[in-house]
Amino acid sequence: MLEKAVNEFAKLPGIGAKTAMRLVLHLLRQDTQAVEGFGQSLITLKHEVKYCSVCHNISDTELCAICADVKRDHSTVCVVENIQDVMAIENTHQYKGVYHVLGGVISPMDGVGPSDLQIQSLVDRVSEGGVSEVILALSPTMEGDTTNFYIYRKLEHSGVVMTVIARGVAQNDELQYTDEVTLGRSIVNRVAFNGRI
Instruction: Output the domain CATH number for residue 169.
Output: 3.40.1360.10
Number of H helices and number of E strands within the chain?
8, 7
Tell me the per-residue pLDDT of 38-70, one tens digit each, with 9 for 90 and over.
Answer: 989 989 888 888 999 999 999 988 999 999 999
Residues 13 and 107 in one domain: no
| 27, part of any domain | yes
Residues 87 and 30 in one domain: no
Question: How many CB atoms within 10 Å of residue 190?
Answer: 19
Beta strand residue intervals within the chain, DSSP E: 50-51, 58-59, 73-80, 97-101, 133-136, 161-164, 191-192
Residues 106 and 9 in one domain: no
Tell me the per-residue pLDDT of 71-109, one tens digit each, with 9 for 90 and over.
Answer: 999 999 999 999 999 999 999 899 999 999 999 999 998
Q: Indicate which CATH number applies to the domain containing 24.
A: 1.10.8.420
Residues 119 and 185 in one domain: yes
Residues 32 and 99 in one domain: no
Which residue range(s) make up the domain with 160? 58-192
First to last CA, the chain: 51
pTM: 0.73
Residues 77 and 39: their CA atoms lie apart, in Å, by 36
Q: Which residue type is seen at 23?
A: L
Alpha-carbon distances, residue 146 vs 3, 106, 137 (angstroms): 42, 7, 13
